[in-house]
Amino acid sequence: MRTSLLEVQETDRFLFNKMSIADKLVFQARMIINPVLEEKVRHQRKAHLLIRWWARKRKLENLHRQLMNNKDFSTCIHNIFK
């Protein structure tokens, strides 16, 4: 496996609390002495947040579509805002 992929997997383990306490401490120490690693962790954390945000947005869009396809619900909503 490529080194960068291993680094991404290790960072995921850190971000999702899947490391032992000892491994977590070593990883945190590596971030302290390696600012590039710390920056990569920040970017990966942000990527995870964006993915979760996008998934929530899609779920809300699907829910909205389902609700508006329900004739009774749609009519009720339209009547409220008449």
In this prediction, residues 35-63 reach a mean pLDDT of 96
9: left (phi over 0), alpha (psi -120 to 50) or beta: alpha
What is the model's pLDDT at position 1?
Answer: 57
Question: Tell me, what's the pLDDT at 82?
Answer: 81
Q: What is the pLDDT of residues 3-33, one digit of tens each?
A: 789 999 999 999 999 999 999 999 999 999 9
Q: Could you tell me the two tokens for 52?
A: 């979760």
Q: Judge whether 27 and 14 are in contact, CB under 8 Å.
A: yes
DSSP 8-state code for residue 19: S
Q: Identify the residue with better confidence: 2 or 55.
A: 55
Stretch (H or E) spanning 32: helix 21-33
Tens digits of per-residue pLDDT, 47-58? 999 999 999 999
